[in-house]
Amino acid sequence: MKLKPLFFLVMILFIGVGAAQEPLLINAYHRTTHSLNGNWKYIVDPYENGFYNYRLEAFEDQKDPGKNAFFTNSKPSNKSELVEYDFDLSDSILVPGDWNTQKEKLFYYEGTVWYKKSFDYRKTDATNRVFVYFEASNYQTDVYFNGTKLGRHVGGFTPFNYEVTHLLKDQDNFLVVKVDNKRIKEGVPTLNTDWWNYGGLTRDVKLIETGATFIKDYFLHLATENPKEINGFVQLDGAVSGEHPIRLRIPELSIDTTFITNKTGKANITLTSDKIVYWSLKDPKLYQLRFSSREDTLTDQIGFRTISTKDDDILLNGEPVFLKGISIHEESPIRGGRGNSVEDARQLLSWAKELGCNFVRLAHYPHNEHMVRLADEMGILVWKENPVYWTISWDNPDTYQNAANQLTELIARDKNRASVIIWSMANETPTSESRNLFLSNLAELARSLDPTRLISAALEQSAYQGDPNVRTIHDDFAEVVDVLSFNQYIGWYDGLPEKAQNISWVIEQNKPVLISEFGGGAKQGLHGDKYTRWTEEYQEYLYQETLKMLSSIKQLRGMSPWILVDFRSPRRMLPEIQDGWNRKGLISEEGKKKKAFFVLQDYYNSKD
């Protein structure tokens, strides 16, 4: 059955009401926090024995869950009592961190792991509120605090938080978290991906303490029509009825203005200044700013710039820009496994800079906040991507809601980052009526949450009018995007590198073209002639031929070849070459550059 647009509309309206998720506190970076990182106790639970009784009924749905429900974190109260687990006698694991690369026995594990952290915490003021904040947890997360369920979060790469004010004690709190990374067909992503399904509390966990009424959210950006005007809003949470003054100071722009909130605690912002130095690639200017309400103060660093398209140009602050990019997976080049530290981010972005990039495609899911914060500082443009990858369940309303929630959380977190210029809806999704509707609804959602950025998706190319030597983009979603991006693998999955010499392109859309992927595999240190697959020379040749071919596309305004560093993938098991790694990196997982790195570097340097 095909879903009708009306059905999706009803569903979108329903999301606001039905989502269990509490609204996200943005800018966790600059709030008063107490880290819960470090050692946590964990129990591996493949049969979800701590969640279900032997009738497979969830303990949490029972009147009396009993002590064997792991979220109760129980101990036998006398020597005869039967309790079949004990967090405190169990092994420890580090948070943040995936479990796969911390514990050998969990390398291939996909299922439930329970985490437990005990802690004391005294609020600085009795009226304050406290939230537990997770930067990310892959994939489905059930959170319990002092024996009470806080909620369930679905999606592995975006932040979420729950209020614990009324459950918090000065001593002996326990936070129990069930993380399940089983892949499921209706999930986002679905069963099939080309990356490692790292499980666990993969990013920081912290307590955030706020006043009773506090600044939950804000959005500041240049007006698209007038770059001397700063627009946006600020939103309070708490006892918001009545008028609340919120002061915004941006000292370097001599801005010191007070806004008054409406009945919902929101104030719209309009400011003008002649002095704004725009955030740019050469001068990524960030302004220090400070919001203060009666009970709260929050600082941030924000850059101001515009991003738009005109015909086939991408305009940054009104000037055409060519996106010299590279795709990146979120793996730690330092420790291996899921990346999550500021050092991981710095290494990846420094390599991108060395390559000559002014743009990175953070594939195929939202990366950690360090990446965008650093990109802001380093003057690198960023593509952010929702994990709608390959063939997901387009007709399933829950799948849509899940994708919409993840996109909403991503935009909530990153909407104040000047570096972020593109929200990508999806990667290599097969066209169909229900897929087109799904993606169009997502794009509409993104535009309603953030009308200031560009929308794209990594699409697929096909033969033009049946001629395999002429390629085109034939996809209804191409009408929706601002930047026409597509992946192509001529020379790797599609013939040998020199095939590129015979291919021409017909792009019928009057839009800027971005090649979101091309590439081929090479094992670093393996040498041979340019026709021998897996050698550095083959990959080098592929880059040379592909760059020549792409230069003939008149609307070409950027590219993000696949990929900066070799990354783990369970689809890549060829012994002695892949051994569990996708080898299309320009740099090996050990940090060694391959020959093709220098081909792309030369090309990018020549475009200055």
Q: List residues near ligand GCB by CB under 6 A.
A: 194, 364, 427-428, 487, 517, 562, 582, 584
Q: What is the DSSP letter of 483?
A: S
**Residue nearer to ligand GCB on the CB measure, 267 or 371:** 371
CA–CA separation, 246 vs 269, rounded Å? 10
Q: What is the largest CA-CA distance in the chain?
A: 79
Dist. CA 598–CA 318, nearest whole Å: 31
In whole angstroms, how close is the CB of 249 to ligand GCB at the nearest point? 44
Report, in Å, the least distance between residue 223 CB and ligand GCB: 35
At closest approach, how far in Å is the CB of 424 from ligand GCB? 11
Nearer to ligand GCB, 135 or 428 (CB): 428
- Looking from the CA of 198 toward its CB, the CA atoms found within 13 Å total 26
The residue (of 139 and 518) whose beta carbon lies closer to ligand GCB is 518
Q: How far is the CB of 474 from ligand GCB (least distance, A)?
A: 17
SS3 content of the chain, % helix, strand, coil (to 5): 20, 30, 50
Report the SS3 class of residue 565: strand
For ligand GCB, the closer of residues 359 and 562 by Cβ is 562
Whose Cβ is closer to ligand GCB: residue 153's or residue 364's? 364
Q: How far is residue 561's CA from residue 18's CA, in Å, rounded to a whole number? A: 40
Q: Which is nearer to ligand GCB, 117 or 584 (CB)?
A: 584
State the DSSP string of 520-552.
--B-TT----TTSTBSHHHHHHHHHHHHHHHTT
- Quote the least distance from Cβ 566 to ligand GCB, whole Å: 10
Query: How many whole angstroms separate alpha carbon 379 and alpha carbon 285?
Result: 9
Q: How many CB atoms lie within 10 A of CB 588?
A: 18
Name the residue number minimizing CB distance to ligand GCB: 194
Min CB(289)–ligand GCB separation in Å: 37
In angstroms, the CA 267 to CA 601 distance is: 47
CB of 537 to ligand GCB, least distance (A): 19
Contact predicate 383/404, CB 8 Å: no
Nearer to ligand GCB, 244 or 364 (CB): 364
255-260 and 567-568: which strand pairing? unpaired
Neighbours of 443 (CB within 10 A): 21
Judged by beta carbon, residue 343 or residue 589, the one nearer ligand GCB is 589
CB of 486 vs ligand GCB, minimal distance in Å? 10
